[in-house]
Amino acid sequence: MRKTLYIITLVILALSCSKKSLLPEEPSAQGTGVAAQVMVLFAPGQLGDNGYADAVMSGLYSLKKKGGVFPEADALDVRFISADTYRETLNQLTSWLKDNANPFSGQPYKRRLIVITEPYMLEWFDEHYAQFKEGDEILVMKVNEQDVREAASDYFLDGKIHGLNISAAGSARAFCAYMKATDPDETTLPFFRLYSEQIVSHRDSLYEVFSKELNSKDNVFLYPLSTEASEGIFSSTYESTALEAAFQWANMMQLAYNMQTNSYAVVDLGAANAGWDYFLMDAPETTFTSLLLDARPMSLASRFIITRDFGKALSQWCVRWVRGDRMPEMEVHGGWDGYCTDNIPQKTGL
């Protein structure tokens, strides 16, 4: 009986510690802890999208499994911030910036890396860059080289800020080729995104690629779901939630197709992609064709997906960083190196 109670006590203690430490495990070395930390900052409500954000999270977990293959990963303390609101996110970020002590040893980390999952979140640091410690660096996802250079100049972060992105341009061209092969008379394309370009500058070049392939920007119609960026992806000025709005849009697309307009749609709504999928699952006879960015695979004939492996890209980037490699100002992957895949049929052999 005592032995049973002892084991139960150990299990309870282990669970209570896991809530505080999140991903990292207490080092088994002489209690000195690790020298480097990676903190990933998610936008409010971003996790659970079954796409981009969840892929980033899987990359974090894979870092803790790389110890046998990449011993450098053992030297990492991996954590993340995922709050419900902008204000709560900022409070947690401020606390992290002020305290760079290793919770296991009490000694400061020699190096820290904060990973920003959305480019617009850089603005949240406006009043906090002065709090960065020596050895702190930033990695921003889904940006371009110009963004990185401007941030380095604006915030005096030369050599301390980096960019990481995955191009889906090849998949976008493949989708346009599919459109032309299956419906040569179709020249317009609705493009549903979470935010307008005025709020979030998208750095994936998809709008430019679609416009070029369809011969004019006037043939690509951008529809933003939300007019607010400050409170996360489920906030908008509309009465409905992001998921409900995506569901309604899919219904509207079906209606538009029945009226012989717009046979295709491109959907990039983050977690709200699920709302689009709910419609497709409820209406398997749907005749218009959707292309979803960073969505989970599903066996629906009217649905194609582009998958960008940001988890793998982030994991490998962090391994090189903690190893001490000289990290590039900007790193871009794509279909050419296997980081971007799709299930779009080729132009020939449809």
What was the pLDDT predicted at 198?
66
**Greater pLDDT, 202 or 233:** 202
Q: Which amino acid is at 154?
A: D
What was the pLDDT predicted at 269?
83
Architecture (CATH level 2) of domain 169-306: 3-Layer(aba) Sandwich (3.40)
Encode pLDDT of 139-192 as tens digits.
999 888 888 888 888 877 788 899 999 999 999 999 999 999 988 888 889 998
Long-range contacts of 25-33 (CB under 8 A, 24+ apart): 25/64, 26/104, 27/104, 31/104, 31/105, 32/105, 32/107, 33/77, 33/102, 33/103, 33/104, 33/105, 33/107
Encode pLDDT of 20-49 as tens digits.
334 444 433 333 346 788 999 988 878 877
What pTM value is reported for the model?
Answer: 0.79
Band (236; pLDDT cuts 50, 70, 90): very low
Does residue 42 contact residue 80 with C-beta atoms inside 8 Å? yes
With a CB cutoff of 8 Å and minimum separation 6, the contacts of 32 are: 105, 107
What was the pLDDT predicted at 146?
87
Check whether 235 has a pLDDT greater than 70: no
Band (209; pLDDT cuts 50, 70, 90): very high
Strands 220-226 and 289-293: what pairing? unpaired
CATH of domain 33-167+310-337: 3.40.50.2300
Token pair listed for 171? 């998949």
Strands 189-195 and 76-81: what pairing? unpaired
Band (108; pLDDT cuts 50, 70, 90): confident
Considering the chain, what percentage of its residues have pLDDT values greater than 90? 23
Where in the chain do CATH 3.40.50.2300 domains reside?
33-167+310-337, 169-306
